[in-house]
Amino acid sequence: MAMVGIILLIACANLANLLLARAAAREREIAVRLSIGASRVRLVRQLLVECILLSFCGAILGTTIAYWLSEILPKWASSGSTPIPLSLTPDARVLLFSTAIAVLTGLAFGLAPALQGSRIEPINALKASGHQVSGPGARWSTKQTLVALQVAFSLVLLVGAGLFVRTLRNFSNLDGGFDRDHLVTIRVDTHLAGYSPAQLYSLSRQLIEKVEDIPGVRSAALASCELASGCGDASDIFLPGVPHTNGETDAQERRVSQEFFTTTGILLIQGRSFADSDTQNSPKVVVVNQAFIRQFLPGKDPIGQSYGYDANNTREFQIVGVVKDSRVNDIREEVPPTVFHSMSQDVTDVESVNVRTFGDPARLVSQIREAVRSVDPNLPLGASDTVAQVVSNSLSQQRLIARLTSIFGALALALACLGLYGVMSYTVARRTAELGIRLALGASRGTVLWLVLKNVLVLIGVGLIAGWVLSLLSVRAVGSLLFGLSPYDPATMLGAAAVLVVVSLIAALRPAWRAAHVDPTEALRLE
């Protein structure tokens, strides 16, 4: 909403600039009308009607573009196998609201130029034939203030876009602690199929055997919760000698089959993984992650330590191994203390079959599904995705935000450049005589080019300073949505400014070039 508001403000600034330029260009026409008896009210009315017409045409054009974009935008903003369920097709209320806003803002921003236009003194305007030669002193005007504001607002959006794009990139490049390449996961639902725990032991064994028989499969493992899907449960745990505070001695639990760590590429860094010797009848063992050690057993050798889920039974499970921290639950979450139970000792349900392949895992998906079905045709199968895709899908919200802010940032930049181009073109046109005189007095074309570009740089500079202040004030609000960078990240701030400067200079190059190529004889004749 804030982004749309900023875009609307930038567009309004452009409209105001356009109308101010038109009012200035029509000074003589208005002076003639006033001198032959037109009242100021009538002139304001005429200028406002023109303005409303302009806004109305803009609203119609905007509506057409909105319809067109409503199809494209959701597709573009989403990616992967989970499209974003976003309907942007404008309905009657949206259309009415947008048209009303367009016309009202057009009116609001057109009123000032209309009033200014009607306030001119006809005698002065008619006398000003062409002897006035504006120089660089007539530098700071309302038009330039409006352009500087556009630059400032554009910078805010570009900084936002930069922060969110970099957040997405940081998430995408994040080492989740497991190897997402050549890994495919298939969702199954043993709970819905009505499997009892006793039946699950046999099912687990068969599933793994069948899948591992497929040529190209390196290993297979089962888990009670799919990787990176946010389905992990946490339980209160009790450790001997560790004070128990409610809500602060939680550990996430996952039940996995024997080859889970090998299959998913989670590194074992101490002790052992699950073994054939870990059975229902053997002592219950668990593998924990580093976060668990850090939180509950700092400075202690974890191997051989025990814990339980009951204050009276703190030695139910023995820690036999420690694995590297991995974001198995949600790639966006800090790694919580996690306990991995062996499915050979305790299984309540199986939710995912994880398969590591030698080649492209996507090519084996249908064979893996077939293998799972061959074990039990009634076992409900969910979607099959590579883990890389699952991770990517889990970032859909970040991707949507990054893409939307990028779209709005680009739109703001385009509008600001349009405004800058308009103002510079107008300024160059107004300064044609002055530039001609400078050329006639010996200024080189490079000097004139620099003269105009210098003005542009001043405009951009003022806009950038204002934009940085606005950005610093506003980015704090989005700090919680960022990852791996500060809301005040200097690289993003400078990068956004660099993009703005380069694109703005490109936009200003044409008017500046035109200024440098003013024909002095033509310019002097205009005088």
Partner 1 sequence: MIQLKNLERSYKTPAGQFFVLRRVNLEIRQGEFITVMGPSGAGKSSLLNVLALLDDAWSGEYWFRDQAVHDMKRKQRADLAKKNIGMVFQSYHLLDDLTVRENIDLPLSYKDIPHKQRQGMVADTLDKFKIVAKKDLFPSQLSGGQQQLVGVARAVIHRPALLLADEPTGNLHSSQAQEIMELFRELNQQGTTIVQVTHSEVNAGYGSRTIQLKDGWVVSDTANPELQPYEAVKQ
Closest to partner 1 by CB, 346 or 527:
527
**Residues 495, 501, 505, 507, Cα dihedral to 10°:** 80
> Min. distance of Cβ 461 from partner 1 in angstroms?
20
Residue of 325, 2, 368, 267 whose CA lies nearest to 156:
2
| Binding segment (CB under 8 A) for partner 1, from list 136-144, 265-273, 326-334, 466-474 | 136-144
Residues 400, 439 contacting (CB under 8 angstroms): no
Q: How far is the CB of 512 from partner 1 (least distance, A)?
A: 17
> How many binding residues for partner 1 (CB under 8 A)?
24
Closer Cβ to partner 1, 278 or 434, answer by number: 434
The single residue among 411, 433, 462, 515 that binds partner 1, judged by CB under 8 A, is 433
Query: How many Å separate Cα 307 from the centre of its chain?
Result: 43
Least spacing, CB of residue 509 vs partner 1, in Å: 20
Single out the residue of 370, 447, 484, 494 in contact with partner 1 (rule: CB under 8 A): 447
Is the Cβ of residue 433 or residue 497 nearer to partner 1 in the bound state?
A: 433
- CB nearer partner 1, residue 132 or residue 277: 132
C-alpha Rg value of the chain to the nearest Å: 34
The Cα 419–Cα 144 span in angstroms is 10
Residue 437 as a binder of partner 1 (CB under 8 A): the answer is yes
| Strands 338-342 vs 250-256: parallel, antiparallel or unpaired | parallel
> Which residues make beta-bridge pairs with 173?
none
Torsion of CA 514, 519, 523, 526, to 10 degrees: -110
| Region from 214-222, 381-389, 442-450, 472-480 binding partner 1, contact rule CB under 8 A | 442-450
Q: How far is the CB of 18 from partner 1 (least distance, A)?
A: 25
Going by DSSP bridges, is the β-strand pair 285-289/317-323 parallel, antiparallel, or unpaired? Answer: parallel
**Sheet strands (E) in 177-281:** 183-188, 217-223, 233-236, 250-256, 268-271
CA distance 122 to 128: 10
- Write the interaction track for partner 1 spanning residues 116-135; mark x where CB under 8 A is met and - where it is not: --------------xxxxxx
Cβ proximity to partner 1, 121 vs 209, nearer residue: 121
491-520 residues near partner 1, rule: CB under 8 A:
520
**Minimum distance between the CB of residue 441 and partner 1, rounded to whole angstroms?**
5
Instruction: Name which position in 89, 313, 444, 486 contacts partner 1 (CB under 8 A).
Output: 444
Tokens of 218: 């390196």
User: Closest CB to partner 1 among 81 and 447?
Assistant: 447
As given in the structure block, the two tokens for residue 91 are 């309905």
Among 241, 298, 442, 490, binds partner 1 (CB under 8 A): 442
Provide the 3-class DSSP secondary structure of residue 357. Answer: strand
Q: Which range touches partner 1 (CB under 8 A), out of 223-231, 336-344, 416-424, 433-441?
A: 433-441
Q: Kindly tell me which of 436 and 467 has the beta carbon lying closer to partner 1.
A: 436
Task: Output the smallest distance, CB 518 to partner 1, in A.
Answer: 11
Give the three-class secondary structure for 26.
coil
Measured from the CB atom, is 162 or 436 closer to partner 1? 436
Residue number with CB closer to partner 1 (40 or 430):
430
Site for partner 1 in 187-246 (CB under 8 A): none
- Backbone phi, then psi, for 307, in 5-degree steps? -155, 170
**DSSP character string of 138-163:** S---HHHHHHHHHHHHHHHHHHHHHH
Q: Which is nearer to partner 1, 130 or 243 (CB)?
A: 130
**464: which residues sit within 8 A by CB, 6+ positions away?**
151, 152, 155, 497, 500, 501
39 binds partner 1 (CB under 8 A): no
339/423 with CB nearer partner 1: 423
d(CA 52, CA 277): 82
Residue 429 · residue 115 · CB < 8 Å: no
Least separation in angstroms between residue 145's CB and partner 1 is 18
Count helices and strands (H / E) in the chain.
16, 11
Q: Nearer to partner 1 by C-beta: 137 or 243? A: 137
DSSP string, 227-245: TTSS--EEEE-B-TTS---
In the bound complex, what is the minimum distance in angstroms from residue 515's beta carbon to partner 1? 15
CB of 32 to partner 1, least distance (A): 23
CB 521 → partner 1: shortest distance, Å? 5
Stretch that binds partner 1, among 75-83, 326-334, 432-440, 461-469 (CB under 8 A): 432-440
Beta-sheet strands, E only, within 97-216: 183-188
Q: Is 93 in the site for partner 1 (CB under 8 A)?
A: no
Instruction: Tell me if 38 contacts partner 1 by CB under 8 A.
Output: no
CB of 86 to partner 1, least distance (A): 53
Rounded-to-integer distance, Cα 257 and Cα 242, Å: 29
> CB under 8 Å, gap of 24 or more: what pairs does 32-41 form?
32/122, 32/126, 34/118, 34/120, 34/122, 35/122, 35/126, 40/118, 40/119
For partner 1, which residue of 138, 267, 477, 502 counts as binding (CB under 8 A)? 138
C-beta of 442 vs 490, nearer to partner 1 = 442
Residues that bind partner 1 (CB under 8 A): 130-138, 433-434, 437-444, 447, 520-521, 524, 527
